[in-house]
Amino acid sequence: MAYIQRRKNENGPRRRDVKERTMNRFAALDADIASRYDFEDEDERSLPINVNNRAAVRLVRGGGAALVRNRQLARQSGGTGRRDTIFQITVRNQGRGGIQFVAQALSEHVSGFLPFMFDLDSCKNVTFFVLTEEESDNIKVLSRRLTYPPGSNQKFLIYSKQCNAPWESLPANLRQHIKRVVDSRFNKAANSIDLSEFQHDKVFIQNDVGNLVSLTRNAVMVEVIKIINEHYNGISGLSLKGNRLSMLDTAMSLTFAAPGIVELDLSNNQIKAVEQLDKLRKWGVERLHLENNPFTSEYADGSSYTSAIHDYFPRVSYLDGTVVHCNPYKINADLQRRAGVPYPPVQPGFAPDQALKQAVEQFLAQFFELYDDPQPSRSRQNLIHAYDDNAVFTHCIQMIPDNRPVPKGDEEAFRQYIRSSHNIVHEAKWEKYREKVIYCGSMEIAVALSRLPVTQHLKDSFMLDFVFISNALMVFTIRGIFVDGEDVTKPASEKDFKFFNRTMAVVPKGEGKMAVVNDQLSISPVTTDRVERYNRLIKKAMEAPSDPQPNSLDLNQLNVNSVQQPGPSGLQNLKVEPQPAQQAPPPTPDYDVNDPNIREQMIVAFCQQSGMNREWSQKCLEELAWNFEAAGNAFNQSRAQIPPEAFQQ
């Protein structure tokens, strides 16, 4: 019988019994039994098992002890690829907020949150791993419950799947050595752990495993993080000095395992970019060592180096053995970030002066009245008077990815925009004929505008912001929603919308006029959901009280009724001549404050420049005995304490 069995084996691969077919599967679940399987199978015909749990065709005769040692060393170094089963979490389309925001949001809602290896893919999906099914389930229940930005309708879509760990498993004896070393490195008096030159610890040297326990190995770092999370999560100090670390992706999990770190030593590593510190910014580090890392040599002086570090750790007051001053502004920004305030509240646009705002709004009303005419080829020719003779106009259109397909709207209208689009994302398409997508001069611009599709702008969606103001130039941005092409005549329920952002630079002309010297138009199709969200933001902005303007009450702002005078060099110098009717009284109250007409002018001027309503403006002037300058100074000093109803018109 034995002879027949041997003949079958010689003629081809023998059939494996149940034990052989399943032992590698169980070994993947429990690394402790792997060595027992190796020794039990030490016969003259042992079959090597590859990573797919299938028998290799090649037969190996003998070599029992040497083969067993090779297998075990291969497993220790990750050669066999035997890995633990863990769970991969994917948060869809939340890369806009950044990995740090996603991590912070989840950690606030999941007890014992311990993620590993965060990543952001090209589709803006944030992925990471967790070790247990319980933790995976706790995260999945948050799907569609968390939003970004907070309070919006952009919900977290969270998915989970079981997978093999991206790091190899460590043998039980190696895990025991690591636990022993971490325990010995804990300093109870200082409440810190010193992991400097970790692989050179005498315990590893004595057991001849020093080459297997470098913290640059993900498996080793993960094991250390698990130990700290379970036994030392309350430490306030940590040293990772001299471990040849260049990337901190895996080390980021330490910020969740031990969130209270205030003293950190990363010196004598191989960190090549300061941006790596972003992965550890969850810590409120106050004392930091980064000496002898490659990126530190990139800074010409200590102040720029300190400033760069404060971008990630604004509380650091002791850097590389030197006392440094904290930046209160960066600390305040960090506090807002930690409090979950990624953006300031929506405001109804910024305008430094009500007179300027009214003048620009009047200009834009006339501009869009001509622009939205049903016969654009005729009406837009009249826009030649809105542009300076040396003006420049460009426009671009871009499809912005969304959670769902974005309709382009009228196909012919979309193609018209594409043909003349000056989109730097697609520079290769127009770089050889750039002069054809940049329009110079008022006549050429008017002709170019008349060739664009017919439009209908939704005026109640407009948001006006002033960007720059000087005596010679004013820059503002107008944004909103519009439809074009065939969508202009369609019912509201069938329209496809587009978002526009138009930045204009204007110079003052005589007789209360202004002229555009630069016009940049950006267009992007949007979904109906985006339009609804934008409208909600506009509504919220209009309901919010206007913030008091940061500038003092200065009457010599740019006035659109300026006089233009030619300069000797051929350029034009713009001299501002403010109109007395729009000015407040002079600072010294040498006028008759009891004159009702003068008081009325003062109230109107104070309303315009402070943003307060008539009642509160009059109250302020009365309290300061109708001294306009004193009232303005009092307003600037106490504007933070003024109640919101003072700005409700």
Average pLDDT of 21-28?
49
Q: Which of 150-154, 369-373, 428-432, 496-500 has the lowest mean pLDDT?
A: 150-154
Contact 158/90 with Cβ under 8 angstroms? yes
Assess whether pLDDT exceeds 80 at residue 205.
yes
Give the HSE-up count for residue 389: Cα atoms under 13 Å, Cβ half-sphere. 2
Number of Cβ within 10 Å of residue 253's Cβ equals 25
Q: Tokens 């604004």 appear where?
A: 314
Residue 633's pLDDT band (cuts 50, 70, 90): confident
Contact 319/306 with Cβ under 8 angstroms? yes
Tell me what pLDDT residue 497 has: 92
Residue 564's pLDDT band (cuts 50, 70, 90): very low
Amino acid making up residue 436:
K
Look at residues 59, 49, 66, 81 and name the one whose alpha carbon lies nearest to residue 10: 59
Assess whether pLDDT exceeds 50 at residue 326.
yes
Residue 17's pLDDT band (cuts 50, 70, 90): low
Highest mean pLDDT among 154-158, 493-497, 545-549, 623-627 belongs to: 493-497
Evaluate if pTM is beyond 0.75: no
Contact 172/215 with Cβ under 8 angstroms? no
Distance CA 242, CA 386 (A): 66
Residue 338's pLDDT band (cuts 50, 70, 90): low
Domains of the chain: 2-76 (no CATH), 85-164 (3.30.70.330), 172-338 (3.80.10.10), 354-543 (3.10.450.50), 584-647 (1.10.8.10)
Distance CA 242, CA 293 (A): 10
Q: How many residues comprise the chain?
A: 649
Residue pLDDT, tens place only, 453-512: 999 999 989 999 999 888 888 999 999 999 999 988 888 888 899 999 999 999 988 777
The tokens for 223 are 């094991």
Distance CA 603, CA 620 (A): 9
Distance CA 340, CA 104 (A): 8
Contact 201/211 with Cβ under 8 angstroms? no
DSSP 155: B
Tell me what pLDDT residue 155 has: 80
For 344, left (φ over 0), alpha (ψ -120 to 50), or beta? beta
Number of Cβ within 10 Å of residue 116's Cβ equals 22
Secondary structure (DSSP) of 552-585? ---S-S--TTPEEEE-TTSSEEEEP---GGGSPP
Tell me what pLDDT residue 148 has: 67
- 129: which residues sit within 8 A by CB, 6+ positions away? 86, 87, 88, 89, 115, 116, 117, 163, 165, 166
Residues linked to residue 319 through DSSP beta bridges, in sequence order: 288, 322
Tell me what pLDDT residue 302 has: 85
Tell me what pLDDT residue 291 has: 94
Residue pLDDT, tens place only, 115-126: 999 998 877 889
Which CA distances in Å does 593 have to 60, 441, 602, 626?
109, 51, 10, 6
Tell me what pLDDT residue 428 has: 75
Residue pLDDT, tens place only, 610-621: 778 888 888 888
The tokens for 347 are 């405001």
Number of Cβ within 10 Å of residue 529's Cβ equals 13
Tell me what pLDDT residue 350 has: 83
Q: Tokens 């009724």 appear where?
A: 561
Which CA distances in Å does 283 have to 238, 253, 286, 338, 563?
11, 11, 9, 11, 57
Tell me what pLDDT residue 150 has: 64
Strands 237-239 and 192-194: parallel
Look at residues 367, 350, 347 and name the one whose alpha carbon lies nearest to residue 506: 367
Collapsed DSSP state (helix, strand, coil) of residue 643: coil
Q: What is the CA radius of gyration of the chain?
A: 35
The tokens for 22 are 């399943």
For 573, left (φ over 0), alpha (ψ -120 to 50), or beta? beta
Average pLDDT of 287-298?
93
Order of strands, edge to edge, in the sheet holding 237-239?
186-187, 192-194, 237-239, 263-265, 287-289, 318-319, 322-323
Residue 11's pLDDT band (cuts 50, 70, 90): low
Tell me what pLDDT residue 501 has: 95
Residue pLDDT, tens place only, 352-365: 888 888 889 999 99
Tell me what pLDDT residue 56 has: 45
| Residue 285 or 105, more confident | 285
Residue pLDDT, tens place only, 169-188: 999 999 999 999 999 999 99
Residue pLDDT, tens place only, 36-75: 444 343 333 334 444 444 444 443 444 444 444 344 434 4
Amino acid making up residue 33:
I
The tokens for 579 are 């109109």
- Distance from the Cα of residue 481 to its chain's centroid: 25
Number of Cβ within 10 Å of residue 524's Cβ equals 15
Q: Tokens 């490195």 appear where?
A: 185
Q: Which of 44-53, 207-216, 331-340 has the lowest mean pLDDT?
A: 44-53
Tell me what pLDDT residue 544 has: 62
Assess whether pLDDT exceeds 50 at residue 569.
no
Distance CA 151, CA 164 (A): 36
Average pLDDT of 436-442?
89
Assess whether pLDDT exceeds 90 at residue 29.
no
Amino acid making up residue 478:
I
Give the HSE-up count for residue 570: Cα atoms under 13 Å, Cβ half-sphere. 0
Contact 163/185 with Cβ under 8 angstroms? no
Contact 6/147 with Cβ under 8 angstroms? no
Assess whether pLDDT exceeds 50 at residue 397.
yes
Assess whether pLDDT exceeds 70 at residue 309.
yes
Look at residues 455, 495, 467, 499 and name the one whose alpha carbon lies nearest to residue 480: 499
Residue pLDDT, tens place only, 82-94: 778 999 999 987 7
Average pLDDT of 418-447?
84
Distance CA 230, CA 106 (A): 20
Q: Where are the beta strands (DSSP E) in 453-569?
A: 455-457, 463-469, 474-484, 498-509, 513-525, 563-566
Distance CA 94, CA 98 (A): 7
